[in-house]
């Protein structure tokens, strides 16, 4: 029985590597991105390499994922759990991944902790303008990382995945997952289901919108800057089976 993110993702790769795992919409920009299980795994591997080889993070350390609802949020969540990092809401993390909105605040900390900044532009490209000194541009650094990653000190189910939950509680048997975590995605999500959500997967309340579909062999349709008048159309076009 799987008890870690790495084991769950490996099981999904064996089961159906080409199926969609994460579909992202931004109603403000018109962007749509779809990651298959394989493509998501490749991004997670690259981000894991970035966290270890560039940010010099190790199992047991903490990462703040300060991103809005975006397809890169589940990528860095997966990378953190692959390495064995605790995804934290603390203002004193060992490293931070931020978007443009958090750049000014976190850039002031770049001399003491690694600050990885995502432009959130289409295709994960680099920032158009130079970044503050010491801040690493994910859109530059991530492309040199390999498509495969194996942790030299892999986490177990007992490693903390968040400030309060272990990897086993996120990815283990349903009986070991906290009720309030599974309830966050509602009761309509079934095995293999497709969940439509506007919640931020990087925030504690929204994390289950990604971890639950992943564990159940399903997928997430994530909408940023949602236009309420268009959500029903997205639901139908993406053949969603549940909402959160």
Tokens of residue 133, six digits: 């000194």
What's the pLDDT tens digit per position in 177-191? Answer: 777 676 667 667 888
CATH fold for the domain made of 5-243? Rossmann fold (3.40.50)
pLDDT value, residue 28: 95
Q: Are 108 and 91 in contact (CB under 8 A)?
A: no
What mean pLDDT do residues 184-209 have? 88
What's the pLDDT tens digit per position in 106-145? Answer: 999 999 999 999 999 998 899 999 999 999 999 999 999 9
pLDDT value, residue 178: 75
pLDDT value, residue 184: 65
Q: CA of 207: how far to CAs of 105, 111, 121, 185, 237, in Å?
A: 24, 29, 22, 9, 24
Q: Are 75 and 56 in contact (CB under 8 A)?
A: no
H-helix or E-strand containing 196?
strand 194-197
What's the pLDDT tens digit per position in 60-116? Answer: 999 999 999 999 999 999 999 999 999 999 999 999 999 999 999 999 999 999 999
Mean pLDDT score of the chain? 94
pLDDT value, residue 183: 65
Is the pTM here over 0.85, yes or no?
A: yes
For residue 199, name the pLDDT band (cuts at 50, 70, 90). Answer: very high
pLDDT value, residue 75: 98
Euclidean distance between CA atoms 114 and 136, whole angstroms? 8
State the maximum Cα–Cα separation within the chain, in Å, rounded to a whole number.
49
pLDDT value, residue 182: 67
Q: Buried b / exposed e across 11-30, counting CB within 10 Å, b at 16+? A: ebeeeeeeebbbbbbbbeee
Question: Domain extents for the chain?
Answer: 5-243
Q: CA of 177: how far to CAs of 157, 158, 180, 215, 228, in Å?
A: 12, 13, 9, 11, 31
Q: Are 5 and 215 in contact (CB under 8 A)?
A: no
Q: CA of 151: how far to CAs of 47, 80, 244, in Å?
A: 12, 11, 33
């Amino acid at each position: 029985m799987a008890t870690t993110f790495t084991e769950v993702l490996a099981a999904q790769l064996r089961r159906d590597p080409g199926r969609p795992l994460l579909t992202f919409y931004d109603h403000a920009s018109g962007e749509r991105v779809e990651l298959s299980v394989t493509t998501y795994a490749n991004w997670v591997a690259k981000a894991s390499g970035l966290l270890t080889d560039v940010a010099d993070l190790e199992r047991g350390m903490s990462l703040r994922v300060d991103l809005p609802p975006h397809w890169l949020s589940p990528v860095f969540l997966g990378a953190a759990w692959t390495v064995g990092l605790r995804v934290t809401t603390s203002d004193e993390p060992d490293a931070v991944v931020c978007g443009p909105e958090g750049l000014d605040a976190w850039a002031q900390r770049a001399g003491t902790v690694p600050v990885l900044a995502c432009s959130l532009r289409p295709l994960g490209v680099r920032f158009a303008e130079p970044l503050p000194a010491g801040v690493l541009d994910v859109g530059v650094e991530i492309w040199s990382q390999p498509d495969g990653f194996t942790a030299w000190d892999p986490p177990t189910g007992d490693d903390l995945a968040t400030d309060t939950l272990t990897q086993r509680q996120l990815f283990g048997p349903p009986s070991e997952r906290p009720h309030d975590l599974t309830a966050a995605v509602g009761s309509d999500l079934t095995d293999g289901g497709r969940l439509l959500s506007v919640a931020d997967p990087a925030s504690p309340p929204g994390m289950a919108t990604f971890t639950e579909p992943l564990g159940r062999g399903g997928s997430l349709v994530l909408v940023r800057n949602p236009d309420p008048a268009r959500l029903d159309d997205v639901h139908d076009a993406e053949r969603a089976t549940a909402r959160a």
